[in-house]
Amino acid sequence: MKRLLLILSAMLLAVPYTAAQSIDMVIPVPQEVLPGEGTYRYEDSPEITYRVSKKLAPEAYRLEVRKNGIRITSSDDAGAFYAKQTLLQMIAEKDGTKEVQCCVVNDCPRFGYRGLHFDVSRHFRSLDFLKKQVDAMALYKMNRMHIHLTDAAGWRMEIEAYPKLTSFAAWRPQEKWKDWWYGDRLYAEEGSEDAYGGYYTKVQLRELVEYARQRHIEVIPEIEMPGHSEEVLAAYPELSCKGRPYSQGEFCVGNEETFRFLETVLEEVMEVFPSEMIHIGGDEANKTHWKECPKCQQRMEEEGLADVDELQSYLIKRISGFVESRGRRIVGWDEILDGGLAQGATVMSWRGEEGGLQAMSMGHDVIMTPGRYCYLDHTQDAPFKEPESIGGYLPLDSVYVYDPASRTMDLPGRLLGIQGNLWSEYVVTDSHAEYMYWPRALAIAETGWTQPHQKDLEDFRRRATGAVRRLKSMGYEPFDLADEYGERKLAQTGLDHKAKGCKVLYDKPIQKWYPAAGETTFTDGVIGGWTYSDQRWQGFLSDIDVTIDLGSVQTVSYVGGTFMQLKEPGVFMPQKVDIYVSADGESFELVAEVWNDVSVNIPDLLFRSFDAICDVRARYVRYHAKRSTMRGFLFLDEIVVN
């Protein structure tokens, strides 16, 4: 207990204070606050007493601030630590004296898993950067650091049994991921003139694990398999189906050497990371090589596997058994459901919530991290003013309103919590990464800790604005909410026009991932925002060919629709749009042929209206957008008729 009090006092002295902090500025919102009269004042370090009570749940605490001192009660060290984090956010400084508002706080977390993900493969992050983020995570009561150590862009952990993973597979000639990815995708020897990358030694990773442990954060390592492994197979091509470097990104599941490699690597990983969970990836594997590989086909025949999905499941289950034999358990992205899920495996649901719901119904634990709400690699403000990103728009408000339990009421006890992810393809520097995490990670933190009925968006924005000031004073580089431009202006207001509410007939299918409002999307008066995933833009992997029934013959003077283009995810303008009108729905007249003049090579987010001014009498308006030669997506939000 003496050591705990010393740590509390030292950390209370180490964090800068602001002139006006109080309990109503704390993130996450505590479960219960009983206001008191007056303040507790001190100059050097506060008088703190600590009491253990096994009546409190794990991580729970009671914080009592009286005029004569502070008392913390908890059942474990984590609870005492979180009491201190609340206290840190309450301390104000006035005329050289520190003071804390008198109150009693009874608090405990909603979820046991409150995580943040770090992609150090696409761009290597310094150890100091990771420690710095641990400090911020701890201040806001987050308790899991998921570190994505391996991927095609670079292997980042020293493995003594396989030295080429760090002497070769950890380095590439290009600094920017997109230059490498759209180039030759070659690797480089450590120490060569053009080598960019890096890796962590086991000593460094143990240092990070211990640093995080002292702040009650568990570091969860991720070793990708069976896909996203181009870097491994370039260094050790005998583990691929073709036996050649630069030929594929998936391990050969029919090769016993693959399992010898993976088990050896995981042994060394588990020596460094004491975490209960070991993340094994499992996402986005290209399984076509397995269909042609004699070894994989033999494995399928011997094991009675019906298809390549079951072949992936075979690998996942075998690795799960190995990890369990060491007293741990695996966690993977929701693709590990394909072909059957290993007993005891935990699922991270990223492709929406469906994978998580399916896993929970099968009796598995789940961590919700759907891309629409939890992928922090999307821009957090108007794209025209933000640094380069993968695209999309995910402002602070959209992260905050997500409730991971909203669809899991019939599956109690299986939802472990929530995690925010930052994939770093376009995030080159540590400072850019920090800018992308904060303050959106605060929304993840509060969702993971605070009960939903206590959450309030307007109040959270007020507190988050204060937290941004605090983070800046601590040397962080967060996005400044005071400079926020916000959603696309047209998307903030409805649009009234002649076709609003009219029936629309579709000649081509809507892409199932982007249905928006279904067959009412183009005439609902709703304009799309900065991202195609906002359920306002309707997506197609074909032409768009629709006919609007205005209900009666009337004068039509304008017809137009707006498309977006974003090169990286494959969203392009149409080649052209043909606009037709008809009085009877049988005989149509072409009134305009609008050709695209936007280059497909422009990387920025663009919007363009394909429209026509006319003077005709019609009941039916046909709008036909011809798909781009790039064969990507078409996204359209509204067809305006006046």
C-alpha 386/C-alpha 389 separation (Å) is 8
Find residue 113's DSSP bridge partners: 417
Helices (H), 32-126: 77-90
The catalytic residue among 59, 151, 425, 446 is 151
The catalytic residue among 146, 228, 289, 624 is 228
The catalytic residue among 284, 456, 496, 584 is 284
Tokens describing residue 329: 């358990």
What 8-state DSSP symbol labels residue 566?
Answer: B
The three state secondary structure string of 10-40 is HHHHHCCCECCCCHHHCCCCCCEEEEEEEEE
The three state secondary structure string of 200-267 is ECHHHHHHHHHHHHCCCCEEEEEEEECCCCHHHHHHCHHHCCCCCCCCCCCCCCCCHHHHHHHHHHHH
Tokens 């969702």 correspond to what residue? 447
The gap between the terminal CA atoms of the chain, to the nearest Å, is 74
Tokens describing residue 342: 């290993």
Tokens describing residue 380: 């957090």
Helix (H, G, I), strand (E, B) or coil at 275: coil
C-alpha 468/C-alpha 478 separation (Å) is 6
Q: At what angle do helices 430-437 and 440-449 cross, to 10 degrees?
A: 50
C-alpha 49/C-alpha 73 separation (Å) is 9
Residue 284 appears among annotated catalytic residues: yes
Residue 59 appears among annotated catalytic residues: no
Using an 8 Å Cβ cutoff, are 380 and 394 in contact? Answer: yes
Using an 8 Å Cβ cutoff, are 60 and 75 in contact? Answer: yes
C-alpha 109/C-alpha 61 separation (Å) is 10
Residue of 362, 378, 363 lying closest to 425 (CA atoms): 378
The set of catalytic residues is: 151, 228, 284
